[in-house]
Amino acid sequence: MRCTLKEIPAQRKKLEAILRYVVRDFEPGKRYSEKQVNEILSCFYEDTASLRRELVGAKLMEREGGGGKYWRIENGK
């Protein structure tokens, strides 16, 4: 069963735990379009842009400049 967030927690430690859980839905080494990322993230939270930014900011995912492809960082947390 998948959990759906009602809000992104302000407390950093809780947020990091959630991000580590969410990033498991992305395969290491695979590149995803923004649309694909949004489809996956929408299962967790309706504001996919915020969740995407948090994943990149936490260095769990990276993205090409200009909003191109996204990928999971293999040696991430």
What pLDDT digit, counting tens, does each position of 23-73 carry?
999 999 899 999 999 999 999 999 999 999 999 999 999 999 876 899 999
Report the distance separating Cα 55 and Cα 53, nearest Å: 5
Q: What is the pLDDT of residue 8?
A: 87
How far is it, in rounded angstroms, from Cα 5 to Cα 63?
23
Residue 37 lies in a domain: yes
Structural domain harbouring 55: 29-77
Q: Which residue has the higher pLDDT, 51 or 76?
A: 51
Six-digit token string for 74 = 């293999």
The encoded tokens of residue 68 equal 């191109």
pLDDT at 75: 64
pTM: 0.86
Has residue 6 been placed in a domain?
A: no
- Given a contact cutoff of 8 angstroms between Cβ atoms, the answer to whether 55 and 44 are in contact is no
* 18 lies in some domain: no
**pLDDT confidence tier of residue 77, bands split at 50, 70 and 90:** very low
Structural domains of the chain, count: 1
Beta strands in the chain (DSSP E): 31-32, 61-63, 70-72
